[in-house]
Amino acid sequence: MSNAPSSVEDRSSRLIVDARAALLRVARPLVLPLRVFAFWTAVVVPAFYFHALYHGFWPRFVLLVCVHAVALLLGRNHNRG
């Protein structure tokens, strides 16, 4: 018995690598605008906290906190040299 991978396994692993490379080619141009948008969303969203709290919109406040958390995660690497 041989320990070498079969040609089917080799072709499937190459197919996976090719599919990943194609996905990265498509996704890369979208990453920068998404990071910019997320960064500025993270900057602006806290300005609406007071309005939501003052008027008693608790569900909206919770939504704003969630949006802020996601925006912080997505925009954290924006403009980092």
The reply to whether 17 falls in a domain is yes
- Per the prediction, the chain carries an average pLDDT of 84
* Structural domain contains residue 65: yes
Distances (CA, A) of 80 to 5, 9, 31: 42, 40, 14
What are the pLDDT digits (tens) for 38-66? 999 999 999 999 999 999 889 999 999 99
Domain that holds residue 27: 7-75
With respect to residue 2, please indicate whether it lies within any of the assigned structural domains.
no
Residue 1 in any domain: the answer is no
Question: How many domains does the structure of the chain reveal?
Answer: 1
